Amino acid sequence: MKALLLIDIQNDFLPGGALAVPDGDAIIPLVNQLQPAFELVVATQDWHPADHKSFASNHPGKILFEQIDWQGLPQVLWPDHCVQETAGAAFASGVDWRRTEAIFRKGTDPQIDSYSGFYDNGHRKATGLAAYLKGRGVKEVYLAGLAADYCVSYSAMDSLAEGFATFLIEDATRAISMEGLEEARKAIREKGGQFVRSHNILAG
Ligand code: VGL
Ligand code: ZN
């Protein structure tokens, strides 16, 4: 059983959004083409309260994109993004969401960030995604979405740790930083993750 995970394809990560991923909208047609090749489609949604500690605005005196230590974890200070119930947090309208059977929200605890769709960054609390996928009989997890070097890569690492065969669909993701992506790519490969392109999947 193969599942397609659509990671954080939300307005704030698209061009014009609060934390726009360069060329992020280029993945949308691919995400739609890929869906019929999967028996299960699941999405994650970055869903922060306005007082979230990953926002630079909640750390007076700190600057955007600075990395700080917050409660024992490194934390990049992001622009306010994906605030619960705002238009920026909504799923991108160009994506066909009809086959998305479940949505796992993350980043809801104001004190800790959550890049992965499986766990917060301290691995303290599970979202329930791993248990859900196992309950559905999933063995293979394919990832698409935004951003490649943050939420997609962190989700891939946790997917591997949870024992799923894990495939990152390279042309169905875009990165915030190319250096960050290169590092993440190495770590994922070391753990046995694979990189594929959508034509490999669509060709059958
Ligand atoms: C993300 C930074 C902050 C992502 C979410 O979806 O990759 N990146 N929050
Ligand atoms: Zn976030």
Domain boundaries along the sequence of the chain: 2-19+26-50+89-202
Ligand 1 atom 8 nearest Cα: 150
- From 45, 52, 151, the mutation candidate for ligand 1 (largest count of ligand atoms within 8 A of CB) is 151
Under 8 Å between Cβ of 105 and 47: yes
pLDDT of residue 192: 98
pLDDT of residue 203: 85
pLDDT of residue 139: 98
CA of 63 to the centre of ligand 2 (A): 16
**Residues linked to residue 55 through DSSP beta bridges, in sequence order:** 78
Structure tokens at 156: 């891939």
Under 8 Å between Cβ of 76 and 67: yes
Q: What is the CATH number of domain 2-19+26-50+89-202?
A: 3.40.50.850
Q: Which ranges of the chain have pLDDT less than 50?
A: none
Query: What digits encode the pLDDT tens for the residues 31-44?
Result: 999 999 999 999 99
CA of 132 to the centre of ligand 2 (A): 22
pLDDT of residue 204: 63
147 lines ligand 1 (CB under 6 A): yes
Q: How far apart are CA 119 and CA 204, in angstroms?
A: 32
pLDDT of residue 56: 98
Task: Judge whether 82 counts as a catalytic residue.
Answer: no
**HEC assignment per residue over 75-126:** EECECCCCECCCHHHCECCCCCCCCEEEEEEECCCCCCCCCCCCECCCCCCE
pLDDT of residue 3: 98
Ligand 1 atom 9 nearest Cα: 115
Query: What digits encode the pLDDT tens for the residues 7-18?
Result: 999 999 999 999
Ligand 1 atom at shortest distance from the alpha carbon of 148: 7
Distance of CA 64 to the CA centre of its chain: 21
Residue 179 CA: distances (Å) to CA of 107, 116, 147, 189, 193: 24, 19, 13, 16, 19
